[in-house]
Amino acid sequence: MIDNMEFELRSLISGKSFESYVLVLNFSDNYIITLNYVLETPIEITSIEWHPENPNVLYGGCLNGQVIVWDLSASDKRITTGSKSKGPSGDDDEGGGAAEVDDGKSQSIIKMKSLVQSFHVVSHKNFVSDIQFIPPSVKVDKRNPSNGKYSHMISISEDAVANIWDCR
């Protein structure tokens, strides 16, 4: 999710880091969409891709050209584990010491920090427009073969550079 800003305001804050979040929603129920994860990011995300073999790993391309990785199964990267439910007053209570009402409408929300992010010097100079995983049948690195697994991904940007990343 990003803020809908006018060009002038966006150009004023361009390059400045501010808190941003990626929301991971669960659409498994046909009637109720639930929020499962809130992923913390240092800057806005412009593209996102799940790892094809590991459904707990998520890769994101940032507005400043960096690539960021979250591992949803990493308990040491969790900021909070709370629940969001309607409290007795009807207000939304979030995590902490709030009493949870078991009315079937409460949901578990997990806030996560990133696992790793790329250094600025090896990242793109413009926003990451797409991320794709390279099929294991394509040989990328002779010294470290993929061994039939998705071990490399490619990110592209409007800076006319395509970066190939080793995901191991």
For the stretch 114-140, pLDDT in tens is 888 888 888 888 889 999 999 988 888
For the stretch 27-48, pLDDT in tens is 888 788 888 888 988 888 889 9
* b/e burial code for range 45-71 (CB count within 10 A of at least 16 → b): bbbbbebeeeeebbbbbbbbbbbbbbb
What mean pLDDT comes out for the span 142-153? Answer: 82
According to the per-residue pLDDT averaged within each range, which of 55-64, 86-95, 110-119 is highest? 55-64
Instruction: For residue 105, name the pLDDT band (cuts at 50, 70, 90).
Output: low
Q: How many C-beta atoms lie closer than 10 Å to residue 25's C-beta? A: 10
According to the per-residue pLDDT averaged within each range, which of 4-8, 67-71, 105-109 is highest? 67-71
Question: What is this structure's pTM?
Answer: 0.71
Domain locations along the chain: 7-118
